Amino acid sequence: MTKGFGFEVIKTAGAARRGRLSTAHGIVDTPAFMPVGTAGTVKAMMPESVIATGAQIILGNTYHLMLRPGAERIATLGGLQRFMNWPGPILTDSGGYQVMSLAQLRVLKEEGVAFQSHVDGTRHMLSPERSVEVQHLLDATITMALDECTAWPCDEATAIKSMELSMRWAARSRAAFVNRSGYGLFGIVQGSVYPSLREQSAMALTAIGFDGYAVGGLAVGEGQAKMLATIDSTIPHLPREKPRYLMGVGKPDDIVGAVVRGVDMFDCVLPTRSGRTGQAFTSRAQINIRNARHASDPRPLDGSCRCPACRNFSRAYLHHLVKAGEILGAMLLTWHNLTYYQDLMASLRSAIEEDRFNEAIDRFRVEQDQGDIEPA
């Protein structure tokens, strides 16, 4: 395994873990949420604003960055951290999901995926080796193995074929990865919602040997119950001493449910995308600031929140910004949502450390069940 890249489980509460991930670009306290900076920017945020929310690690994407501005160009400019002025660790998605969901004229074969760019129509081949190479050029702190993300619904025969291909690609990704102190490579467990396939995938990845293990192929429409059941059937087969990453999740309730089951890392576009569409996450669930009832409301979005949107502005002002299409509205709501997510993760870490995890989970669920119920 890679020297200088380490994970320590500091304390547990049932299956939930309070951990610390050490990397070449800094420490990540877990459970952790990674804001998504797909194309070299967390949308509507300056890097220092992302840091102010409490984020220690962000996510970038191989597919988007290899198409524009190009991994080789970023490498000549000093790597992704320097390019986007982000001082901390960066995990890069392998690009497999985006090839399946965005690219045109896809041809899947053993070598990799041939596709046409959705940006300019140019032809590309994304193989495990090329994916790892692009991530190396980006100087990604954490590189993800290339996999095929199965769609939903997915029958078992299709899931078997896809999972076995992903495991062959995982071995090739491992072979292509250049070990450097403080850098890591994660494998991705596949197998749709079928417990036996998830077990086979986890065992295959463990035999190859990775610095961390991701649970992929979820949050694609299967619903929360199936997602949590799949996590239950996967986590017991993953090494305890390695970080566990649930890809593309998600809603606060999904994250809390996964932390309860022993997941350490998360990413999702939801808090940033919601911020750009007038949606705000608060301690009392979700608010649509576009609603007319906020037009004359002098209260903050969330009286317990430390973000600039809540400290300095009213719901009425935020409503005005969003209805008027002002960029500041998207900036403030995104800052708020990312702060909410980071504070949620910090509260889970503290609860595990202080032996009050069950009480914290119960309180979270009561607050979420209340919805947006506040005095007028």
First-to-final CA distance of the chain: 57
| Residues 229 and 308 reside in one and the same domain | no
CB-CB contact of 18 with 12 (8 Å): yes
Parent domain of 334:
274-370
The residues facing 371 across adjacent strands are none
pLDDT bin (cut points 50, 70, 90) of residue 373 is: very low
Say what the pLDDT of residue 39 is: 94
CB-CB contact of 146 with 169 (8 Å): yes
Residue 6 is assigned to a structural domain of this protein? no
Say what the pLDDT of residue 1 is: 54
> Per-residue pLDDT for 376 more than 60?
no
Nearest to 134 by CA among 193, 76, 72, 53: 72
Residue type, 44: A
| Residues 197 and 287 reside in one and the same domain | no
Mean pLDDT, range 46-57, rounded to an integer: 98
Each residue of 243-300: pLDDT tens digit? 999 999 989 999 999 999 999 999 999 999 999 999 999 988 799 999 999 999 999 9
Q: In angstroms, rounded to a whole number, what is the distance separating the alpha carbons of residues 177 and 172?
A: 9
* Residue 45 zone, left/alpha/beta (φ > 0; ψ -120 to 50; rest): beta
> Per-residue pLDDT for 369 more than 50?
yes
Residue 25 is assigned to a structural domain of this protein? yes
Say what the pLDDT of residue 151 is: 86
Q: In angstroms, rounded to a whole number, what is the distance separating the alpha carbons of residues 63 and 249?
A: 19
Enumerate the active-site residues: 93, 267
Q: In angstroms, rounded to a whole number, what is the distance separating the alpha carbons of residues 99 and 116?
A: 9
Residue 52, classed as helix, strand or coil, is helix
pLDDT bin (cut points 50, 70, 90) of residue 372 is: low
Residue 212 is assigned to a structural domain of this protein? yes
Q: In angstroms, rounded to a whole number, what is the distance separating the alpha carbons of residues 37 and 217?
A: 20
| Residues 208 and 68 reside in one and the same domain | yes
- The CATH code of the domain that includes 175 is 3.20.20.105
pLDDT bin (cut points 50, 70, 90) of residue 368 is: confident
State the chain's mean pLDDT as an integer: 95
CA distance to 2, 42, 67, 132, 144, per residue, from 119 (Å): 35, 20, 8, 22, 23
Length of the chain: 376
Each residue of 328-355: pLDDT tens digit? 999 999 999 999 999 999 999 999 999 9
| Residues 180 and 107 reside in one and the same domain | yes
| Residues 23 and 160 reside in one and the same domain | yes
> Per-residue pLDDT for 58 more than 50?
yes
Angle between helices 327-353 and 252-260 (to 10 degrees): 20
Say what the pLDDT of residue 371 is: 62
| Residues 193 and 213 reside in one and the same domain | yes
Say what the pLDDT of residue 375 is: 38
Give the DSSP letter string of 175-220.
Answer: HH----TT-EEEEEE--TT-HHHHHHHHHHHHHH--SEEEE-S-SS
| Residues 169 and 244 reside in one and the same domain | yes
Cα radius of gyration rounded to whole Å, the chain: 20
| Residues 22 and 92 reside in one and the same domain | yes
